[in-house]
Amino acid sequence: MKNTFDTIVIGAGMTGGWAAKEFTEKGFKTLVLERGRNIEHISDYPTSNLQPWELKHRGRLTAREIEENPVASRCYAFREDSKHFFVKDKDHPYNQIKPFDWIRGYQVGGKSIMWARQVQRWSPYDFEGPARDGFAIDWPIRYKDLADWYSYVERFVGVSGNKDGLDILPDGEFLRPWESNIVEEYFSQQMKKFYKDRHVIYGRCAHLTESKPIFVKQGRGLCASRNVCQRGCTLGGYFNANSTLIPWALKTGNLTLRPHSVVHSILYDNNKQKATGVKVIDSITKKTQDYYARVIFLNASTLNTNLILLNSISTRFPNGLGNDNGLLGKYIAFHNYRATISAKYEGFPNYTVEGAKPTTHYVPRFRNVLKQETDFLRGYAAGFQASPSRETIREGIGDKLKRQLLNTKETGVWNVGSHMMGETIPKISNYVSLDHQKKDAWGVPLLNIMVDYDNNDEKMIKDFYEQFAEMYTKAGFVDIEINDNKRRPGNDIHEMGGVRMGKDPKTSLLNAWNQMHFCKNVFVTDGSCMTSTSTQNPSLTFMAITARASNYAIKEIKKGNI
C-alpha cells in the first residue's frame, strides 16, 4: 500500500508541476517521479547572487568543458554560472542518426530553471493550420478550448505584456511591461506605416513586474531585471516550477516527491486493460521498484516521454504503450532558429538606454496566416532588439585601465537585430526509436534520433532574409547583414511531437483531452502531445494543455470513468 497513490506524475518540470498542483489541490494523493536530484527554491541556486569576478572563469566555459560537452555547450544558457543544471553529454548518451542537440535538465524543476521565459498564446489560426493546408493531421481542439486555461495559467505564472489587440496573437492576463527603448518604438511605428499585417510588439515574458496576492502566497518577489535567470532566481522574479508549482503542491500535504527515480516503463495489465503503475530504477542504488496509481500523467519532456512509451511493452502493446497504429515516436518537429539578420541605425544619436529588461520585442507570424501565399508551408515569427553601440578603451593596466573602462563612449549608432523562429512541418521521416543493443547506465535503451531540416525550412529561411532585409531597409537601417548560424535541430529546445493529439486513433496517439486512445488512464501533456508546432514559444501552451487535461481527468475519476 505504501507504493500506491491516486495519481503518478512522471517528471517534475513545468508540465509535471502543473499536473501535481492540480491533483494535490483537489485532494488526490500524488507521487511525482523525477529522474534527477532535488532542487529547492533559493537554497539550491549556488551562483544566483555571485558577481562576475566571483566566478573563476568570469562566466565562461573552459576548453575542456566545451570538448567534453559538444552538445550542451552549444546551448546559449550553458555557462559557468548554470552548467550544474544541465545534463552532461557523457553521462546521458544518445544516438544521433542525424545531427541533433538534445538539451536536457535532469532535476526537480527541469528546464524551467533555465528557460528563456517567453510566453505567447496560440491563435485560432495556429490550431487551424494543418486543416487549412492539408499537411499532417487536424488538431482535435481549437483556441476556444484553451482560452480560459491560458488565462488560468497566466494569472498563476505572472506574465508581463501589452494588450496589443492582435487576432494573430491573442492578448492575455498581463502585468505591466518594461519600457521600450526609442529604436524599438521607432521600428514598431515604421512597420505600421508600411505594412498592415506586420507588427512589432513587446515580447511577453514570465516575469513579475507587479505584486499580487497570488504571488505573495507563492513567496515570490518582483523581477529586478538582473538578466542572470539561468542561475535560478532567489527573488522568484521569474516563473519556474521550483518557486511555484512544486512548493504549492507540497503545502497541500498530498504530494510525495521522489527524485533520483529513472522511469523504466509504464506497467500495463492485460486483464484490467489499463495501466496500473510505473517501474522505477533508483538512479543511485540501481534498485528497481514498482509504484501504482489509478491515473498516470506522463510529463518527462518530449523525447524522454517518447522513450518511456516505446519502452513500455506488453503482450497487448509489443511496440510501445498505445502504439496500435505504429506512429509512436514519429512526426517529431521543432523550431528553426538558424536565420538571423543584423544592421545599424544612425537615428536618435542623442538617446541611449540605462539598465536592461529580460525580454526583447517580437514580430508575430505574418506569412500564410489566412491562406497559402508562398512556396513554403506555414510561417515564422521573429525577435527584434536594439541597443546603443558603445566604445570602451581597453588600454593600460591597473588604475589607468580601470579609469578607461569606466569612460565608456556613446557612439550615437544603434545595433539592431532579429532572429527567426520558424515552424517545421511534422514528418514521418522525423522520428525517434529505441536502440535495443545499447543501454544506458540504468539498463534503459538509448534513444535513436532521426530529425533533420528539409526543403521547406530552406525556403522559409530565404523568405525571412528577403522580408526582413526589406523591412530593415524601409526603416532606414544600414549595413544589413544576414547570417545562417547553422544551429542544429534541437538547439532551439522546442522539440515537439511523437505522441500527437488527434481525432482519429488511426492517425494519432491521444484524444482531445490528452488521453491515450488505447489506454484511457494514461495522459500525455508535455511537448510530445503537440500535433504541430506553430511559431510561438511553446511552454505557455504546454502548461494550459496540462491544466485542462488534469481537471478533465479529475472529473472523469470522480465519475468512475477512469
- CA–CA dist 158, 115 (Å, integer): 15
Average of pLDDT values for 275-282?
98
For residue 524, CA distances in Å to 79, 268, 374, 474, 513 come to: 32, 16, 34, 46, 9
| CB-based contact 34:261 (threshold 8 Å) | yes
Identify the burial level of 543 via C-beta atoms within 10 angstroms of its C-beta, where 0-12 means exposed, 13-18 middle and 19 or more buried: buried
Give the number of other CB atoms < 10 A from CB of residue 441: 12
- CA–CA dist 254, 397 (Å, integer): 60
Query: What digits encode the pLDDT tens for the residues 126-157?
Result: 999 999 888 889 999 999 999 999 999 999 99
Cell 529546445 locates to 493
Q: Cell numbers for 185, please give them.
A: 518604438
Q: Cell numbers for 143, please give them.
A: 483556441
pTM of the model: 0.97
Residue 209 pLDDT exceeds 90: yes
Q: Look at residues 361, 335, 401, 303 and name the one whose alpha carbon lies nearest to residue 533.
A: 335
pLDDT at position 396 is 86
Residue 339 β-bridge partners: 484
Average of pLDDT values for 162-191?
98
R_g of the chain computed on alpha carbons: 24
Average of pLDDT values for 314-338?
98
CA 20, distance to chain mean position in Å, is 18
- CA–CA dist 479, 58 (Å, integer): 32
| Pairing mode, strands 95-96 and 445-450 | parallel
| CB-based contact 112:17 (threshold 8 Å) | yes
pLDDT-based confidence at 497, cuts 50/70/90? very high
Amino acid in the structure at residue 512 = A
Query: What digits encode the pLDDT tens for the residues 337-348?
Result: 999 999 999 999
Residue 277 β-bridge partners: 267, 292
Q: Cell numbers for 1, please give them.
A: 500500500
* Domains located in the chain, CATH noted: 1-43+95-159+204-333+494-562 (3.50.50.60), 177-202+335-423+453-488 (no CATH)
| Pairing mode, strands 431-439 and 445-450 | antiparallel
Between CA 310 and CA 235, with CA 39 as vertex, the angle to 5 degrees is: 130
pLDDT at position 404 is 85
Strand extents, DSSP E, 181-302? 201-202, 255-258, 261-269, 274-282, 288-298
pLDDT at position 39 is 98
For residue 353, CA distances in Å to 39, 228, 410, 416, 540 come to: 36, 19, 10, 14, 30
Per DSSP, 510 falls in state B
Q: Cell numbers for 108, please give them.
A: 526537480
pLDDT at position 134 is 83
| CB-based contact 452:332 (threshold 8 Å) | no
297: helix, strand or coil: strand
108-136 b/e with 16+ CB inside 10 Å = b? Answer: bbbbbbbbbbbbbbbbebbbebbeeeebb
- CA–CA dist 418, 361 (Å, integer): 9
**pLDDT-above-90 percentage for the chain:** 95
Between CA 288 and CA 299, with CA 293 as vertex, the angle to 5 degrees is: 80
pLDDT-based confidence at 279, cuts 50/70/90? very high
| CB-based contact 207:223 (threshold 8 Å) | yes
Q: Cell numbers for 213, please give them.
A: 496576492
Average of pLDDT values for 438-449?
98
Residue 117 pLDDT exceeds 90: yes
Q: In the chain, count H helices and then E strands.
A: 11, 22
Q: Look at residues 532, 537, 376 and name the one whose alpha carbon lies nearest to residue 467.
A: 376
- CA–CA dist 552, 388 (Å, integer): 50
Query: What digits encode the pLDDT tens for the residues 356-404?
Result: 999 999 999 999 999 999 999 999 999 999 999 999 888 889 999 988 8
- CA–CA dist 368, 356 (Å, integer): 34
